Structure 1
Amino acid sequence: MLIFKIFRADEWAQLQADGVTEGAPVDLADGFVHFSTGSQVAETAAKHFAGEDDLWLLALEADDLGDQLIWEISRGGQKFPHLYRPMTMDDVLWAKPLPLVDGEHQILQALVTKADI
């Protein structure tokens, strides 16, 4: 199952440069890397990245992340994937720009564009 991480351009660039990340500021504060499923990612974008441009959508295979990927109840009683270890470039299957059009992130458009890594 694919899970998704939204990064700002500078966070994505830092992961590419370093090969590893503890995540965005919210991840550092919470002690794990937050992810969303395909059915959750649009709401995540709207709630946590409203109006932000220059974002990237990263896809990872949940089954490849091992037992340090924990599914926990969060927003709205849904289970969200949380990674309790640093995320690496090797974990990333693909990364694509996440366009902002008329104030809405174009999740579907990002999913169907050509992979950038």
Structure 2
Amino acid sequence: MTKETVYKILTAPEYDVLMREKKFSGSALDIVDGFIHMSTAAQVTATVDLYFKGQSGLMLAAIDQKGLGAALRWEPSRAGQLFPHFYGTLPSDAIIRVDPVTRNPDGTVKIMDG
């Protein structure tokens, strides 16, 4: 993917909601925080390891950030890094692709191309 791509990790039930409703309002944590937490390609592995440890059936949604407009904000979070936060309901047409979360031999989360 390109640097214009941001990522959302979805649990199996969240993915089911996205597929059924063609939109995603956020996880329970997203709703509490008031925005949908996203990551860059470089941040995905740490996000999975910190917040989804031991969970199976995870999906990685690649999202074209250009389609999110001004509702996508880059804000400091973990260790002062800037993370993409989306203030709105994520429409399925902003999603480029969704793949199961898998790992490379070095343990990083595999980011699919194309």
Q: Which runs of 5+ in 1 are unaligned?
A: none
2:100 maps to 97
Structure 2 residue 6 is the aligned partner of structure 1 residue 17: no
Residues 103, 109 of structure 2: 8 Å contact kept: no
Q: CA deviation at 1:100?
A: 6.7
| Percent of aligned pairs sharing the same letter | 33
Q: Secondary structure at the match of 2:112?
A: helix
**RMSD of the alignment, in Å?**
1.9
1:80 maps to 83
Residues 72, 82 of structure 1: 8 Å contact kept: yes
Q: CA deviation at 1:111?
A: 2.0
Q: CA deviation at 1:99?
A: 3.2
1:47 maps to 50
Cα distance in 2, alignment partners of residues 52 and 41 from structure 1: 15
Q: Which amino acid aligns with 1:64?
A: G
- Change in 2 beyond 3 A, CA 1:30/1:24: same
- Report how many residues are paired: 110
TM-score normalised by L of structure 2:
0.88
Higher strand share: 1
Cα distance in 2, alignment partners of residues 42 and 59 from structure 1: 14
Residues 6, 45 of structure 1: 8 Å contact kept: yes
Residues 53, 99 of structure 1: 8 Å contact kept: no
Residues 9, 56 of structure 1: 8 Å contact kept: yes
Consecutive aligned runs of 4 or more in structure 1 exceeding 4 Å deviation: none
Q: Which runs of 5+ in 2 are unaligned?
A: none
TM-score normalised by L of structure 1:
0.86
